[in-house]
Chain A
Amino acid sequence: MNEAYKTAISRFLMIAVISSVVILAVKFMRFYSLKYADRVASNYLDNITGGYIALDEYYGFVSAVGNLGFSVQLSVDRYDGTYYDHYDITDIDSVAVLRNGLQYFILKDRDFVTVTLVKKGVTIRESRTMHGSGVLK
Chain B
Amino acid sequence: MTNKPNQKLFKASFPASLDHLSQLREFLYAIIKGEGLNFNEEETLQILLAVDEAFTNSVKHGYSGDQTQRIDIQIKITKHNLIITVIDKGKGFTPKKLQKADIVKHVKKLKPGGLGLYLIQNVMDKVEFSINPGKKNAIKMIKKLG
Partners in one complex: no
Interface, chain A (partner B; CB < 8 A): none
Interface, chain B (partner A; CB < 8 A): none
